[in-house]
């Protein structure tokens, strides 16, 4: 969102050693709910081991490469991105606050592959998107997180869900909306993670302190009634490290700030929430105009970022 664009002053060095983890220490909650966990940056216990047979995210160097530039003139405030599994090479994007409810199809070159209008969904402040499972196990769904709240004044926020459309379709009607409240009151948030295995969701808040609250929602919730998210605990990303987007895969999870990516390796059978409460590793990225969107590739071997602004570059980060 454009109301806040501060430099990240925390840590901008590239870490190429193995990911390190930590045994989280419980702290008292700041406003009620269950006892949270705080994960900081100084723990030394091992993180969950990678199960992919590839080097871990922090065991390799990362080289940014511009693969293209966003062609669509409508995409000026890109806030979320997700790779399609059904349509090879397609990347879904959306704008944030002030834009019509719509998703846009592109690829890593930035080509304009179509705009899909979603007239039955509201769009107050869409901040992230994800691809995940839903009611029909044979279908992938797009999750659209209407969770932005600059002024922390929204008593409830929303996550929309639609079956992944065809890029060439111009309008998709219908969709589901999950109404959410938080146990600690309104928060600003720009990150939604969806577990590709079971649809479990985690929302990560955004705070100048860098202490990022985490909230979870089960994948099997009844979307026809409102739900209160469960407070999991906190991630201490460092002062001014603002969480602006994320993505979750079967083996890896990433959350980005304006200058860095925090990455986790998932163990077999691990939950999304449980993995996030272990120590991440840090990967320095490239300072973008206002970088908020990040997406893992389908095989999770690399990730892509793109910023708000007209005709922004698409950056690929691949291990060397």
Domain boundary assignment for the chain: 20-262+285-319
Q: What is the DSSP string of 163-201?
A: EPPPTT--B----EEEEEE-TT----EEEEEE-TTT--E
User: For residue range 118-143, what is the model confidence (pLDDT) as tens digits?
Assistant: 999 999 999 999 999 999 999 999 99
CATH class of 20-262+285-319: mainly beta
User: For residue range 157-180, what is the model confidence (pLDDT) as tens digits?
Assistant: 999 999 999 999 999 999 999 999
* pLDDT the model gives residue 210: 84
pLDDT band (50, 70, 90) for residue 289: confident
Tell whether the model's pLDDT for residue 40 goes beyond 90.
no
pLDDT band (50, 70, 90) for residue 18: very low
Query: Which has the higher per-residue pLDDT, 17 or 68?
Result: 68
* pLDDT the model gives residue 14: 28
Exposure string over 156-192, b if 16+ CB within 10 A, otherwise e: ebbbbbbbbbebeeeebeebbbbebbbebeebbbbbb
Give this prediction's pTM: 0.85
């Amino acid at each position: 969102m454009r109301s806040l664009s501060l430099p990240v002053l925390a840590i901008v060095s590239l870490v190429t050693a193995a990911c390190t983890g930590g045994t989280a220490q419980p702290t008292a909650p700041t406003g009620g709910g269950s006892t949270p966990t705080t994960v900081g940056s100084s723990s030394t216990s091992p993180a969950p081991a990678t199960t992919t047979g590839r080097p871990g995210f922090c065991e390799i160097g990362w080289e940014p490469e511009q693969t293209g530039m966003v062609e669509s003139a409508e995409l000026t405030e890109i806030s979320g991105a997700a790779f399609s599994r059904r349509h090879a090479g397609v990347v879904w994007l959306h704008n944030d606050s002030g834009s019509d409810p719509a998703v846009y199809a592109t690829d890593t070159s930035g080509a304009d592959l179509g705009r899909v209008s979603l007239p039955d969904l509201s769009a107050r402040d869409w901040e992230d998107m994800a691809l995940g499972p839903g009611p029909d196990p044979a279908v992938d769904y797009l999750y659209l997180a209407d969770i932005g709240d600059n002024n922390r004044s929204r008593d409830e926020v929303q996550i929309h869900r639609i079956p992944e459309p065809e890029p060439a379709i111009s309008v998709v009607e219908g969709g589901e909306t999950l109404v959410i409240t938080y146990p600690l009151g309104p928060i600003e948030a720009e990150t939604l993670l969806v577990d590709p295995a079971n649809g479990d969701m985690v929302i990560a808040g955004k705070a100048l302190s860098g202490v990022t609250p985490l909230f979870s929602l089960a994948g099997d919730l009844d979307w026809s009634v409102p739900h209160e998210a469960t407070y999991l605990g906190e991630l201490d990303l460092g002062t001014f490290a603002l969480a602006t987007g994320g993505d979750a895969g079967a083996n890896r999870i990433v959350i980005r700030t304006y200058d860095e990516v925090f990455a986790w390796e998932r163990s077999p059978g691990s939950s999304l929430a449980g993995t996030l409460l272990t120590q991440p590793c840090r990967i320095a990225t490239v300072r973008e105009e206002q970088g908020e969107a990040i997406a893992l590739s389908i095989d999770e071997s690399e990730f892509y970022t793109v910023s708000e602004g007209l005709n922004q570059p698409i950056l690929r980060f691949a291990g060397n």
